[in-house]
Amino acid sequence: MRRNQSPIAAILARREITLLVIIVVLVAAVGIRAPRFLQPARQLSILNDTIILLMLTLGQLAVILTAGIDLSVASNLAFTGMAVAMWNMVMPGVPMVVLVGASILIGASLGAFNGVMVSVGKVPPIIMTLGTMSVYRGMVFLISGGAWVSAHQMSESFRGFARFNILGLPSLVWIGVITTALVYVFLRFTRSGRELYAVGDNATAAGFVGVSARKAQFKAFVLSGAIAGLTGLLWVSRFASAQNDTAIGFELETVAAAVIGGVSIMGGSGTVTGVVLGAVFLGIVKNALTVVGVSPFWQMAIQGAVILVAIVANTVVDRRNQARLSARRISA
Amino acid sequence: MADIVQLENVRKYFPGVKALDGVSMTIRSGEVHALIGENGAGKSTLVKILTGIHDPTSGTILVDGEPASFRTPHDSQAAGITAIHQEASMFPNLTITENIFMGHHLRNRFGLLDWKTMEARTRELCERLSLAISPDTLVRDLSVAQRHQIEIIKALSIDARVIIMDEPTASLSLKEIQELYELVRTLREQGTAIVFISHKFEEIFEVADTYTVLRDGKYVGNGSVSDVTTDDLVRKMAGAALDRLFPERTPSIGEVALSVQGLTQAGVFEDVSFELRNGEILGFFGLIGAGRSELMQSIFGVRSRDAGSVTVAGERLDPLNPRKSMAQGLAFVPEDRQEQGVILDMSIIENTTLSSLRAVSRFGFPQKHTERSVTEGLAKRFSLRAARLEQRVAALSGGNQQKVVLSKWLATQPRILILDEPTRGIDVATKAAVHSFVGELADQGYAIILVSSELHEVLGMSDRILVMREGRLVAGFDSEDASAERVLATAIGAAAVEQGA
Amino acid sequence: MMRKVIAVGLVLLLSSVMVFAGGGAEAPAEDGTLRIGLLVKSLGNSFFEAARDGAMEAAAELGDVEVIYQGPSTPTAEGQIEIIDSLIAQGVDGIAISANDENALVPAAQRAQRAGIEVISFDSAVAAGGRSVHLAPSDDELIGRSQVQAIAEMIDFEGQIAILSASSTATNQNAWIEWMRVALEEPEYANMELVDVVYGDDLSDQSYREAVGLFNRFPDLRGIISPTTVGVAATARAIQDEGLVGQVELTGLGLPSEMRQYVLDGVSQNVALWNPIDLGYAAIYITYHLLRGNVEAEVGAVIPAGRIGDIRVGEGLVAVLGEPFVFDASNIAEFADIY
């Protein structure tokens, strides 16, 4: 399947190119105002700042593809982060490999709970994850007793886990790149990945060929949960602080990044490339605002406006391309 | 009978294609005018010109003898032309009155909505068409047929003089169709002009007075329905006589392939038992709502059942387990292509291999070259017309989409095929291709169930015909003693129930 | 129906938990000893446990005081009201409250006052009608000025500084920042320039990002004041990650536990916050002296508070403990274990 050669793929690519152009223009505009913004070190720091959002959005992508939504990712992140931080506090000798495995496992279990309730219990994803968003957040308070895990309570390797340098890049970036590659392969080259698209696009037709919507939903939630768990460890390590309201409200940023990246909220359509661009776009906007020195009273409005402009521009270009395509179809 | 609308030598060109090429047509009051042509003949383009969605490239439109131009749908509505669409565009959570007056609400002298008058007017229109529906019923509580009637009332409420009905009987039961005919006749008597678009000749002969035939965007002929026969019309449409549509074959019936015993889903189908043999085409006829599609879904395992069993080669199929059915060699082409058959946003390849992903995968990774070669083979077999196999299925015509669905099922290498309305809504040429293909498969020893609402298709294709009515098998015919009249009569319940099955 | 039953059951369960959390009646004290209830926001909070230790210390010094330490299991006004009623029933002499809700506690506090109990508040105030004196840990002016002084000493009274606050609408933060601006007008700070005030919304990632933004916009930045725990910790992390330790100095208001690592690593020379031990200690002294009639609860009254010295009662009967307590490398480890 050489997607790049089909006209549809050309459009998808073009849609992503639109976003890429918007990103380049944005960076250039900020660079004129604050030239330091263009330094490679700054760009790397923005990338570093975007990785967690990117990873969570990849999980979100899997769920949205099945026509669901996972609003519990940020709470899952906070819970898993708190859990592994507390483990590290109590038993500092446990190697990081074990904690990484544990974080993925804990996150995946929380995701599996969503998955079971949605696929077997038939609870609508938005309701279910709205509920677990609070439940998982409440569980953070329960295990922590309201207290934080602070930098001095973490082992040296725990605190340094997200930022040690490999070949000039921080480990956080490497983990992000690896996760992105894995999700890309999963969605494009595996049977399960293809089934997510099929189920989200037309669950009835998929069911008629024996592709189970329930299983696909379950897998998507487990994936989203596992990624959220891993990012929990990364977040807590990066900021060297496990708090009760870690990443509060972050779930909406993942949805925003997905939508900016052209993921259809109706399911069945969306790419890893789009998500990468969407997350990078959001990351740049957030960092640009701090560099340009916009009044804090304007920041939120500007951030929202820029996001809207990106989405609208993206949609308009997309629609034009669709129109061009259907014109071509008639003439064919 | 006055001429309301006259089209003279109307052309509509899209870049590189002549959708309409010099069509003339006269629509008169108190006349039912059938618009005939296979898919892609230009019927919908003509309708879009009449309703102001498209501007003609050249030609004239006269309304009441005066030249007119329909630039917007509003212009054509003002001239009294309204189309009733295949999928009724209604607001299910609003009442009939609210639906009818949506967009042109009546106001009282305070500028507020005058519900009393609107309701009275709705009641009056219902009475005029002798419909017994209360105006404050919610549209979601209406049947499909009733919704059609409301659409017609809606047209009348804005004083439509020309009502265009596009395949109005597509999803109606036989009784409802009869009621629709009554309604059409009532409208005709009251002086309304009706443009009636249909694929079904019975309907045309039943209600139409005049006809216009289009082929490949060209005007082929018109005249009075009473002057022509079905054969004449078919020849005009496709240049093909009816009997040529079905392949000649000499069936060789083998072992029992599929056995259904006492299959029941309460209220949907009851106690259905039959056997299907290798090399046999078993036709299932019945009216819409007789439970045929539901029965097939249950056999295949995508719909639950309350009792009974399905056996393939000595192995019982589990309820609600399509994977097992597929493993046992069953394939199921569902009736609703867009909803149940294809995945519109996926490519032809992805659609084709979705049913057999396991077979084309290694370690959970679908192998691109295997997928491509499987799809290429099937596309060739069905002479699929697509620019490339990576094309999105949404961009294909209905007939080609159906070919993709068939390909998808043949990719599973089945032995038993259940085809539920395989030719619904596809053009004559593709239809013939499907028919000859189904015949070939049976000759190769496949066991085939053919569910169809088209009587002639069932009669022409099947070795044996089972008739369902109200969820039960009521009769069985061998192809030689099946006649259109007898099969139809048992399906309607007009004749004494014949033994068989 | 079933749902209603469950709901009623839950309400009963919760209220009984609160009643029991309030503790049972205790035996009345023998003559001469004053019994003072120390009512905190919630139990199991190490900040208030430190305040209790301070209160015990004061009681031991005074000799004729018994401290009854109480609080609801969750920080709710309802829980505190239950406990006030139970303290009234026990016939205590005084109550010192850190309130979960300024106004909701007023009626219960007034019941206590009518029963002849001396009611004061500390840390978090009860509205004026429900208490005599309120003991504030510090006041806006002291906080603002002490923070500026702290950063000034770190950067030798020279260079650009910035402030990283919580949200732009936080009243207390804004009041402190106003006093920082006022303080910076003083001649000794003439060589210092406040270049910007940014807001991290008390979120780690946002605060971190804002800190990095400051480094980028102001390459010559010498110091950051972040008067909020999340902000000061995230800024410390950012300084460390960007390799700016020693180049950009940092102070602020922050929990010693959260800041311990950074103070010991030298990212921040010191940070400040209220000292809960001193708060509990002073609260008992104030209640004691009011009960003994040594001072009147009136503006201008001066109340001796043991090792802390005299505390003056100001406008609105608010007494201020003093400047925020400074944690540096010498003492932060000790306090980090408390809160």
Cβ neighbours of residue C60 under 8 Å, at least 6 residues apart? none
List the domain boundaries for chain A.
3-326
CA–CA separation, A223 and A220 (whole Å): 5
Which residue type does B193 have?
A
Residue corresponding to tokens 């990873």: A55
CA–CA separation, A54 and C63 (whole Å): 62
> What is the structure's pLDDT at A35?
84
Which chain C residues are Cβ-neighbours of A42 within 8 angstroms?
216
| Chain segment A248-264, per-residue pLDDT in tens | 889 999 999 999 998 98
* Mutant choice from C255, C261, C263, C338 vs A, greatest count of A C-beta within 10 A: C261
CA–CA separation, B276 and B260 (whole Å): 9
Burial class (CB in 10 A: 0-12, 13-18, 19+), B116: exposed
Same domain, B112 and B157: yes
List the domain boundaries for chain C.
25-138+276-322, 140-273
Same domain, B199 and B251: no
Question: Å from A201 to nearest chain C CA?
Answer: 35
Superfamily of domain C140-273: Response regulator (3.40.50.2300)
Superfamily of domain C25-138+276-322: Response regulator (3.40.50.2300)
Q: Are B404 and B318 in contact (CB under 8 A)?
A: no
Average pLDDT value for residue range B181-195: 90
> What is the structure's pLDDT at B14?
73
Same CATH fold assignment for domains C25-138+276-322 and C140-273: yes
> What is the structure's pLDDT at A144?
87
Question: Å from A96 to nearest chain C CA?
Answer: 20
CA A63, chain centre distance (Å): 11
Structure tokens at B319: 């309820």
Q: How many structural domains are present in chain B?
A: 2
Strands of C159-165's sheet in order across: C192-199, C159-165, C221-226, C249-252
CA C332, chain centre distance (Å): 17
CA–CA separation, B295 and B310 (whole Å): 11
Most confident of B148-157, B208-217, C58-67: C58-67
Residue C12: in which H helix or E strand, if any?
Answer: helix C2-21
Q: Classify residue B425: in a domain, yes or no.
A: yes
Task: Write the DSSP string, C16-55.
Answer: HHHHHHT----PPPPTT-EEEEEE-S-TT-HHHHHHHHHH
CA–CA separation, A198 and B428 (whole Å): 30
Structure tokens at C305: 């508070």
Same domain, B8 and B54: yes
| Chain segment A267-293, per-residue pLDDT in tens | 888 999 999 999 999 999 888 888 887
Which residue type does C289 have?
H
CA-based Rg of chain A, rounded to a whole angstrom?
A: 20
Say whether B371 and A5 touch across the interface (CB within 8 A).
no
Q: CA nearest C169 in A: which residue?
A: A297
Q: CA nearest B359 in A: which residue?
A: A191
> What is the structure's pLDDT at C6?
55
**pLDDT surpasses 60 at C3:** no
> Who wins on pLDDT, C335 or B449?
B449
Same domain, B249 and B218: no
Name the residue among A216, A268, A279, A281 with its Cα closest to residue A58.
A279
Which residue type does B93 have?
N
Which chain A residues are Cβ-neighbours of C202 within 8 angstroms?
245
Q: Are C17 and C73 in contact (CB under 8 A)?
A: yes
Q: What is the largest CA-CA distance in chain C?
A: 72
Q: Are A255 and A60 in contact (CB under 8 A)?
A: yes
* Mutant choice from B343, B347, B368 vs A, greatest count of A C-beta within 10 A: B343
Q: Are B291 and B468 in contact (CB under 8 A)?
A: yes
Q: Classify residue B18: in a domain, yes or no.
A: yes
Q: Are A236 and A230 in contact (CB under 8 A)?
A: no
Residues 157-216 of A with CB under 8 A from C: 159, 163
Q: Are C197 and C230 in contact (CB under 8 A)?
A: no
Same domain, B356 and B423: yes
Name the residue among C258, C269, C252 with its Cα closest to residue C144.
C252
Name the residue among A325, A324, A326, A314 with its Cα closest to residue A14.
A314
Say whether A209 and B354 touch across the interface (CB within 8 A).
yes
Same domain, B12 and B28: yes
To 10 degrees, the CA torsion angle through B96, B102, B104, B105?
Answer: 70
Say whether C205 and A49 touch across the interface (CB within 8 A).
yes
Query: What's the pLDDT band for C104 if we cut at 50, 70, 90?
Result: confident
Which chain B residues are Cβ-neighbours of A322 within 8 angstroms?
none
Same domain, B425 and B411: yes
Average pLDDT value for residue range C185-205: 91
Measured CA distances, B321 to A121, A198, B261, B324 (Å): 19, 18, 18, 6
Per DSSP bridges, beta strands B307-312 and B256-265 are antiparallel
Mean confidence (pLDDT) of chain B? 85
Q: Touching check for A42 and chain C: CB below 8 Å? A: yes
Specify the DSSP class assigned to residue B340. Answer: I
> What is the structure's pLDDT at B172?
74
Say whether A209 and B350 touch across the interface (CB within 8 A).
no
Say whether C262 and A151 touch across the interface (CB within 8 A).
yes
Which chain C residues are Cβ-neighbours of A248 within 8 angstroms?
203
Say whether A209 and B345 touch across the interface (CB within 8 A).
no
Q: Are B260 and B299 in contact (CB under 8 A)?
A: yes
Start-to-end CA distance of chain A, whole Å, equals: 23
CB-nearest to B391 from A6, A191, A192 is: A6
To 10 degrees, the CA torsion angle through C181, C185, C189, C191?
Answer: 100
Query: What's the pLDDT band for C18 if we cut at 50, 70, 90?
Result: very low
Cβ neighbours of residue B182 under 8 Å, at least 6 residues apart? none
Lowest mean pLDDT among A237-251, B199-213, C114-128: B199-213
Q: Are B272 and B266 in contact (CB under 8 A)?
A: no
Same domain, B224 and B331: no
Query: What's the pLDDT band for B65 if we cut at 50, 70, 90?
Result: confident
Residue B286 pairs in a beta bridge with: B468
CA–CA separation, C267 and B482 (whole Å): 95
Q: How many CA atoms lie within 13 A of C38 on its CB side?
A: 29
> What is the structure's pLDDT at C236?
94
| Chain segment B426-449, per-residue pLDDT in tens | 777 788 888 988 999 999 999 999
CB-nearest to A209 from B16, B387, B408 is: B408
* Mutant choice from A182, A202, A208, A214 vs B, greatest count of B C-beta within 10 A: A208
Same domain, B219 and B251: no
**Count of positions (residues) in chain B:** 501
Q: How many CA atoms lie within 13 A of A319 on its CB side?
A: 6
Same domain, B102 and B83: yes
Say whether B391 and A209 touch across the interface (CB within 8 A).
no
Say whether A49 and C208 touch across the interface (CB within 8 A).
yes
Question: Residue B204 belongs to what domain range?
Answer: 3-241
Torsion B200-B205-B207-B208 (CA) sign = positive
Q: CA nearest C211 in A: which residue?
A: A290
| Chain segment C136-160, per-residue pLDDT in tens | 888 888 899 999 999 999 999 999 9
> What is the structure's pLDDT at A7?
54
Average pLDDT value for residue range C18-32: 46
Specify the DSSP class assigned to residue C124. Answer: S
Same domain, B322 and B417: yes
Last residue of a domain, one of B186, B212, B241: B241
Task: Write the DSSP string, B8-64.
Answer: EEEEEEETTEEEEEEEEEEEETT-EEEEE--TTSSHHHHHHHHTTSS--SEEEEEET
- Which class would CATH give A3-326? mainly alpha
Residue B58 pairs in a beta bridge with: B11
Give the number of A-B residue pairs with CB atoms closer than 8 Å. 107
CA–CA separation, C248 and C146 (whole Å): 19
Q: Is A20 helix (H, G, I), strand (E, B) or coil?
A: helix
* Mutant choice from A209, A263, A318 vs B, greatest count of B C-beta within 10 A: A209
> What is the structure's pLDDT at B170?
67
Which chain B residues are Cβ-neighbours of A198 within 8 angstroms?
343, 346, 350, 354
CA-based Rg of chain C, rounded to a whole angstrom?
A: 22
What CATH number does the domain containing B69 carry?
3.40.50.300
Residue B416 pairs in a beta bridge with: B330, B447
Most confident of A170-179, A309-318, C265-274, C304-313: A170-179
Residues (pLDDT < 70) of chain A are: 1-14, 317-318, 320-332
For residue A3, the tally of other CB atoms under 10 A from its CB is: 14
Query: What's the pLDDT band for C9 if we cut at 50, 70, 90?
Result: low
Most confident of B194-208, B289-303, B470-484: B289-303
Question: Å from A10 to nearest chain B CA?
Answer: 11
Per DSSP bridges, beta strands B66-68 and B330-333 are unpaired
CA–CA separation, A116 and A114 (whole Å): 6
Specify the DSSP class assigned to residue B450. Answer: E
Average pLDDT value for residue range C280-291: 92
| Chain segment A67-117, per-residue pLDDT in tens | 999 999 999 999 999 999 999 999 999 999 999 999 999 999 999 999 999
Average pLDDT value for residue range C44-70: 88
Specify the DSSP class assigned to residue B415. Answer: S
Specify the DSSP class assigned to residue C131. Answer: -
